[in-house]
Amino acid sequence: MATELQMPKNGMDMEEGTIVRWLKNVGDPIEKDEPFMEIETDKITMESESPVAGILLAKLYEDGDVVPVLTTVGYVGQPGEKVPTTAASDAPAEVKKEEVAAPVAVAAAPIKKLSDTSGIAATPYAKKLAVDNNIDLKEVTPTGRYGEIRARDIETALAALPKASPLARAMAADMGIDLASVQGSGYRGKVMAGDLTPAEITNVEAAVKEIEEVLERRKLSGMRKAIMKNMVASHTEIPPVTQNYKVDVTELLALRAKINQGREKPERVSVNDMIIKAVGKALEKFERFRMTLDGNEYVLHNQINVGMAVAVDDGLVVPVIRDVDKKSLTDVSKAAKELAKKARDGKLKPNEMGDARTTISNQGMYGLYSFTPIVNKPEASIVGVCTTEEELALIDGEISVRKKMMICVTYDHRILNGAEVCEFEKYLKGLLENPVSILI
């Protein structure tokens, strides 16, 4: 029996994923645990692996299609194995419900739930392209195996049309203007909205020109959508409070310099590594910082996991260093570097994200003196790290130059109170100002 390949569910809040590209074609051999497609979730781009060995018998979706989690996207099995067809009521009529033999080199199963209320069968990505480009699906010739319109059909239809901006195309449809008869003023003769304005509606010309002066429109990536959703939820659901305190990191920087003596650059410990280790110690001591809120109950977690915010192209991800309390400073430093590289390369795995007790957001490299980090739900707090500045201080009657750093802690006031956060900050300040204690 052929084995289903599904859109994986990466986290409780993931509802759908986008197939970036198939890594295998129908008929190609696949080993167990070998990646067969690359997908984009709302957090990361990752590869999906086959649960069994065999050949790819069928692909039910194309590159670019948005697919709900746990939906079957294809089948893998042995040559000649039968692939079950869908029983969906809106599948093309010519598809039979009984099993059919799957040729090695041909996809044998129909796309699920392709038709909309108009009854026109089309893939989700094809519908999206049609809407974005003001294309009527009734005017598109389908080339799908089961009579459905694919993304390539929309692209073919677009290529056959005169070049025009989406606004110009919509206006031409409303005004009954044949775009082929219009001389375009845009790049390479592209028809712009202003080219369609007849004499009798010159009063709207200024408004059209203003719209066309928009430089560019960019669609939100899955990551940006997820960031927006999470930040709005955090802002609206969590009563946040931020408390700032200044730490003397003169001794911390001196100790770091000693630790790094003789070490090659890739093996050097960073200030952020030492802060991660110190925060891990503070989490171990203050259990309420390890709590999350579940309805009317507090959930206490024992594992000391610390997230670290990493900026990537078009977004932000938070890989997690697990069991910080059980790792040496060197181990923490190594894990932080590996996770940061994976994050920037888009290679993070699902088990390398989530389930942190708190997150560290380090903005020190940008010279920030203070900022208000936003709590990463469902965590109870987030620690913001600022830049290091030199200050004059009076020590034992002598003026000395000290290095100071602002630490900003935002917390969920439903879980934590100001006094206990002050105790947490006082303890963390003590660790950072007496850095040998971090290593013990």
Can you give the CATH number for the domain in which 48 is found? 2.40.50.100
| pLDDT tens, residue by residue, 99-113 | 334 444 444 344 444
The pairing of beta strand 310-312 with beta strand 315-317:
antiparallel
| pLDDT tens, residue by residue, 259-308 | 999 999 889 999 999 999 999 999 999 999 999 999 899 999 999 999 99
Write the DSSP string, 337-387: HHHHHHHHHT---GGGBS--SEEEEE-GGGT-S---PPP-TT-SEEEEEEE
d(CA 278, CA 298): 25
Q: Which residues contact 334 (CB under 8 A, 6 or more apart)?
A: none
Q: Is residue 160 part of a domain?
A: no
CB 344 within 8 A of CB 4: no
| DSSP designation for 165 | -
Q: Is residue 119 part of a domain?
A: no
Q: What is the per-residue pLDDT for 256?
A: 96
- Overall number of domains in the chain: 2
d(CA 257, CA 45): 37
Q: Is residue 368 part of a domain?
A: yes
Structural domain ending residue among the three candidates 85, 101, 117: 101
Q: Is residue 108 part of a domain?
A: no
Q: Is residue 206 part of a domain?
A: no
Residues of the chain with pLDDT under 70: 11-13, 42-43, 85-119, 166, 187-188, 197-214
Q: What is the per-residue pLDDT for 88?
A: 34
Q: What is the per-residue pLDDT for 356?
A: 96
**Residue 135 has which token pair?**
């294309």
Residue 160: which H helix or E strand, with range? helix 151-160
Q: Which domain holds residue 10?
A: 3-101
Residue whose pair of structure tokens reads 């746990």 in the numeric block: 70
Examine residue 166 and say whether the peptide bond preceding it is cis (omega within 30 degrees of 0). no
Structural domain ending residue among the three candidates 61, 78, 101: 101
**Residue 90 has which token pair?**
């809106």
The CATH number given to whatever domain includes residue 269 is: 3.30.559.10
Q: Is residue 114 part of a domain?
A: no
Structural domain ending residue among the three candidates 101, 127, 162: 101
Residue 4: φ, ψ to 5°? -75, 140
Q: Is residue 170 part of a domain?
A: no
Q: What is the per-residue pLDDT for 261?
A: 94
| pLDDT tens, residue by residue, 325-364 | 999 999 999 999 999 999 998 888 888 999 999 999 999 9
d(CA 245, CA 17): 41
Q: Is residue 393 part of a domain?
A: yes
